[in-house]
Amino acid sequence: MSIQQDRRELERKQRAQSESARKAADLRAKEARKRVDAARADQAAGRTRSPSQAQSKRREAVRALEAANKYGRDASALEAKAAGYGTDAAKLQTKIANAEAAERQRATRQQTIAQRAAQVQQRQLAQQVALSQERIAISEQALHALSAPKAEKLRILMLGASSEGDLRVTREHTRIRRAVEAALHRDQVEIDVRLSATTQDLQDGIAKFRPHVVHFSGHGDEQLIAFEEDVDDFHSGIVVTEVISAAQKC
């Protein structure tokens, strides 16, 4: 049974115990009165000089004593029943107390597990933020270390990222390449294309290719862009902030 069912059963046992004890007390009171009546009738039989009256009083004493004995037997039965109810109630109280203690222990364990999970999640998030900041710092250092552009070919670093596979970045890069190849001064343009681009591709491309233009195809807005992780399956990607403004300084 559930704790609620046990509590209801405990209340029923306690009510039954109280009712049996009350009825037993009433019977004990009646028993006492009948025994007093029997004693008085017996005394009256001893005082009277009339044989008939003495005999009548003795019969009255016997009837009162028999009634008292019956009240006593019934009271004893009810007292035993009340004691049984009391024993059952005590067992139920122990059972309920144990169940409540177990329930509190389960709640404490679940709370501890939830707290530990939250702490692990916070540490993982902090590690991801720290890693992203470190990569951005490395990229900014690389950008600041670049010298002013010389009279040389225009270098375009083309990055494409679609971690969830919902963009056709390859097609966009193909159109750009075709347009450059059809241009009059196509020999003055160099293109480095990096599809499924990660933040490492951005860093390597800027540090090694030293582009004049960084073109990014993927998800983003004015404040952030989303790169891919170095995994084969579709995923949510890595959101990086302040990269666009840093890239524009190269």
CB 20 within 8 A of CB 86: no
Phi/psi of residue 237, each to 5°?
A: 85, 175
One-letter identity of residue 89: A
Q: Is 157 left (phi over 0), alpha (psi -120 to 50) or beta?
A: beta
H-assigned helices in the chain? 3-47, 51-145, 169-181, 199-204, 243-248
Q: What is the C-alpha separation between 80 and 155, in angstroms, rounded? A: 102
Q: What is the C-alpha separation between 130 and 117, in angstroms, rounded? A: 20
pLDDT score for 1: 65
H or E element, residue 157: strand 154-160
CB 10 within 8 A of CB 96: yes
Q: What is the C-alpha separation between 144 and 247, in angstroms, rounded? A: 10
Taking the CA atoms of residue 20, residue 23, residue 24 and residue 26 in that order, the dihedral angle to the nearest 10 degrees is 160
For the chain, the first-to-last Cα distance in angstroms comes to: 73
pLDDT score for 235: 85
Each residue's pLDDT, cut to its tens digit, for the chain (250 residues) gives 688 999 999 999 999 999 999 999 999 999 999 999 999 999 998 888 888 898 999 999 999 999 999 999 999 999 999 999 999 999 999 999 999 999 999 999 999 999 999 999 999 999 999 998 999 888 888 777 766 556 688 999 999 999 888 888 889 889 988 998 898 888 899 999 999 999 999 999 999 999 999 999 998 888 889 999 988 888 888 888 855 444 444 4
- DSSP states along 70-130: HHHHHHHHHHHHHHHHHHHHHHHHHHHHHHHHHHHHHHHHHHHHHHHHHHHHHHHHHHHHH
On the 0-12 / 13-18 / 19+ scale of CB atoms within 10 A, 69 is: middle
Tell me how many degrees the CA angle 233-239-244 measures, rounded to the nearest 5. Answer: 125
pLDDT score for 45: 87
pLDDT score for 197: 92
| pTM for this entry | 0.44
Angle, to 10 degrees, between the axis of helix 51-145 and the axis of helix 3-47? 160
One-letter identity of residue 92: L
pLDDT score for 246: 46
